[in-house]
Amino acid sequence: MTNEFIHFEKISRKTWQNLHRKTTPPLSQTELNSIKSFNDKISLQDVTDVYLPLTNLIQIYKRSKEDLAFSKGIFLQKASKRQPFIIGVSGSVAVGKSTTSRLLQILLSRTFSNATVELVTTDGFLYPNAYLQKQNLLKRKGFPESYNMELLLDFLDNIKNGQNFQIPVYSHEIYDIVPDEKQSVTAADFVIVEGINVFQNPQNERLYMTDFFDFSIYVDAEVKNIETWYLDRFKKLLTLAKEDPTNYYHPFTSQPENEVMKFAQNVWKSINLVNLQDYIEPTRNRAEIILHKTENHMIDEIYLKK
């Protein structure tokens, strides 16, 4: 075990799944299929073994947060106001963060009766392509400097204080921010914030985004596996783009497949891998829990902060 994990408890899947009394997952296989990203493999067994105990753990953190807020209120002699419980989900591109986040959204809304759960991805905080181009940052898209971190912090601050907020919308089809479209985010009971940059600290700021989170998850896997998943996903995106001329990937569909895949491999090596090694993975130990995946997307180990 490297020093990085010195303050984590390593738990095998077998041990982890026994930490929760077995219950039926509160969703069907059809629902699970509808929320998983198209290159992700996740089964109802994973929901029972991994995600139900995780939901249970989040329940413990939420209770302890409420107890602390209540005691603090007594100490300060003022009523504590209700705040959303904010969960950060990070990890590499193509590692399965979106599936984890969407699944948690369903599980939390069904575990806590009448709970409202908002899901936000930080893609919406990327600067529009036109701006990135002007700043000569288009090739650095996804790197820390390509995000409007000020707006992201502003969003987190407002939500934390119980105020609703409107954020930009990003589309993978056009590979850009959608002009004149906004997502209204309410300060729900739970707000899940998912993205490759959610544990990073904004440039030259004294503030960590993790300061806003009540719980945080890092989805982890070996680099060679993530690369395979990234290339698989790229292939699937091409198939989807075939019939749609407005799709960013459409022009690639008329090129020889081996050339396109060579291009994708180059994008992985020169952009995504660099971003992972320099900016994403170094934030892994800021997570409360690390879910480690094997090559078939199965979670085999869980690391919980001591």
242 is in an annotated binding site: no
d(CA 188, CA 185): 8
Strand partners, 182: 168
94 is in an annotated binding site: yes
98 is in an annotated binding site: yes
Region of residue 302 (left: phi > 0; alpha: psi -120 to 50; beta: else) = beta
224 is in an annotated binding site: no
91 is in an annotated binding site: yes
Strand partners, 290: 218, 303
User: In 10 A of CB 125, how many CB atoms?
Assistant: 24
Task: Read off the tokens for 14.
Answer: 């077998």
97 is in an annotated binding site: yes
96 is in an annotated binding site: yes
93 is in an annotated binding site: yes
User: Rounded to 5 degrees, what angle do the CA atoms 236, 240, 245 make?
Assistant: 135
User: In 10 A of CB 278, how many CB atoms?
Assistant: 11
Please give the annotated binding residues for ATP, written as ranges.
91-98
Please give the annotated binding residues, written as ranges.
91-98
